[in-house]
Structure 1
Amino acid sequence: MKLLGKILDYFEESLIILMMAYMAIMNFLNVVFRYCFASSFSFTEELTVTVFVWVTMLGIAAGFKRYAHLGMSFVVDLFHGKAKAMFALFGVICSLVFMVFVFYFGIEMVQGQINMGSTTPVLRMPQAVQGLSMPVGAIFIIIRILQAGFLQVKGLWNEDEQGGTQA
């Protein structure tokens, strides 16, 4: 199971790095061409928006993995002991429910895009390529919510039993 987690980490982080590098390079080249040659690559804007949507969804998953999400920490931090763990669990459940909705409606959106045959204006790329970021990203996020949520709730639950020494 640890190997699968490491593979997922590597895949997720590699995709984010590659996509961010693509966006930075293409936007830089676009600006240079616009100012030096008075023309730009029209397709880069479309691809950059598509890549940005994917990076956003994968970045949310990476944020959950690193506990860098806001969650309900304001509410959770008001409590101590088992109540703190229970409110953290409530936050995890709320996040999971929301991402299940994103997954479900993301699939519906992609099906609609495919059924309508919608494409992007310049490249005529299927709009579903952007849309797929929602259900696929939701799967990554759900996995990360489960991982981080389990560790967070377990840590808070055990914190009370160990006299509040764990973070």
Structure 2
Amino acid sequence: MKILKWLNQYFEEAVLIGLLMIMTLIMGVQICARYLFNFSLSWTEEITRYLFVWSGFLSIGFGVQRSIAIRLEQLTDKLKGKAKSAIFILDYLIEFVFFAYMIPAAYRYFVTAIQSGQVSPACAMPMWILQAAPVVGFVLVEFRLLQKIYLEIKKVRGMKTCQQ
């Protein structure tokens, strides 16, 4: 149970930190190769770009989980109690519908990449690995939004019991 709790709390953060460390290491190798040995590696930029794409899509779930997404704070700061929770639930539901709409399109693009057999120019890496990022990112966001909706509903129900 501790592992699940840790994954729930830190999964995206740990993966994003790992991706950033790998990108930094790869670009450090490229800089050393270019400036110390006067030799440029062709694969470093491509791998770094693909890791950046993955980190971009995974960071959406991180933003939702940590409540650092863009929202109308001017409105929500003035509200209290159930009204504030209602606005948050509405916001989460709108986001949920948007990402639910995006998942099938991302999945079709992913399947097309698998069927095409296209590979990246420098590394000959299958492009479906890159195209999986939106699918994974959007599904993770949906999971995080469901968690947020559940927590807000739980908070509203807790308000009812406190007021009785």
Determine if the alignment matches structure 1 residue 139 to structure 2 residue 139: yes
Give the stretch that moved more between structures: 81-90 or 26-35. Answer: 81-90
How many percent identity over aligned positions?
27
Corresponding residue number in structure 1 for 2:59: 59
How far 1:81 sits from its partner (Å)? 3.7
Corresponding residue number in structure 2 for 1:150: 150
Size of the aligned set, in residue pairs, is 163
Corresponding residue number in structure 2 for 1:21: 21
CA distance in 1, matches of 2:14, 2:86: 35
Corresponding residue number in structure 1 for 2:125: 125
Corresponding residue number in structure 2 for 1:46: 46
Determine if the alignment matches structure 1 residue 33 to structure 2 residue 18: no
Which runs of 5 or more residues in structure 2 are unaligned? none
For residues 30 and 97 of structure 1, do their structure 2 counterparts lie closer, same or farther at Cα, with a shift above 3 Å needed? same
- Give the TM-score normalised by structure 2: 0.83
- Give the TM-score normalised by structure 1: 0.81
Kept after mapping to 2: 8 A contact 1:57/1:133 = yes
CA distance in 2, matches of 1:79, 1:8: 29
For residues 8 and 159 of structure 1, do their structure 2 counterparts lie closer, same or farther at Cα, with a shift above 3 Å needed? closer
Kept after mapping to 2: 8 A contact 1:16/1:55 = yes
Which runs of 5 or more residues in structure 1 are unaligned? none
How far 1:94 sits from its partner (Å)? 1.0
CA distance in 2, matches of 1:84, 1:9: 24
